[in-house]
A and B are shown apart, each in its own frame.
Chain A
């Protein structure tokens, strides 16, 4: 069963515009959700996790249990935000990644 869905493979926004990367999940329990990011020629790294309720590099993500979503948002996109973004979920004994969204910020 598909646990994490990222409907957009590619997303382009202009610098300074708001950006939202969508993530929907399917899990009946209480999942822990994450966003991982991979910049060009770098390793996959953690961006943020929902339990921390933190803002990293201006990005935030709110867990909406009613809509089973965990969208990633940033009010003003920067060129350095161009990267591959993966939404991920753990059920406790498994870890699931979505297929990723490639974000391009146009100068």
Chain B
């Protein structure tokens, strides 16, 4: 099991563009959460998906949207990119049945997004 995988590793976009980041959860996990980590900061919760629906959402604008597929993989989409969206985007997976979505989150390596 490769654990949580994310693609791409790095991405460079310009202001106003749109971006899609991808995440495959750890085998056996059904819940995916996304985080934004700016330089020198802790991860900030964006949203969480379970059963292909957004279940929880942090304090992020509607420009941030997501999707979960039947195989539990997930995408994070960001529209109308701003310079401030430059960050490391982390995906975490967990099992709702094994103690709940927050009980133990397994993190991916992240996607580094740079907006120019």
Residues of chain A at the chain B interface (Cβ within 8 Å): 4, 32, 34, 43-46, 49, 86, 88, 90, 92-100
Residues of chain B at the chain A interface (Cβ within 8 Å): 3-4, 33, 35, 40-45, 56, 58, 90, 92, 102-109
CA distance A43 to B103 in the complex (A): 17
Chain B residues near A94 (CB, 8 Å)?
Answer: 45, 56, 58
B33 touches A95 (CB 8 A): yes
With known contacts A46-B104, A49-B103, A90-B102, A97–B109 Cβ distance under 8 A: no
CA distance A100 to B42 in the complex (A): 6
Measured CB to CB, the nearest residue on chain A to B55 is: A93
Mostly helix, strand, loop or mixed at chain B's interface?
loop
B41 touches A99 (CB 8 A): yes
Q: State how many angstroms separate the Cβ of A50 from the closest Cβ of chain B.
A: 12
A45 touches B58 (CB 8 A): no
B109 touches A43 (CB 8 A): yes
CA distance A98 to B4 in the complex (A): 22
A to B CB contacts below 8 Å, 22 in the list = A4-B42, A34-B102, A43-B108, A44-B107, A45-B106, A46-B104, A49-B103, A86-B42, A86-B43, A88-B42, A93-B56, A94-B45, A94-B56, A95-B33, A95-B45, A95-B105, A96-B45, A97-B35, A97-B44, A99-B40, A99-B41, A100-B42
CA distance A32 to B106 in the complex (A): 17
CA distance A49 to B90 in the complex (A): 20
CA distance A95 to B107 in the complex (A): 14
Query: In the complex, given contacts A45-B106, A99-B40, what are 16 additional A-B residue pairs having Cβ atoms less than 8 angstroms apart?
Result: A43-B107, A43-B108, A44-B90, A44-B92, A45-B107, A49-B103, A49-B104, A92-B102, A95-B45, A97-B35, A97-B42, A97-B43, A98-B42, A99-B41, A99-B42, A100-B42
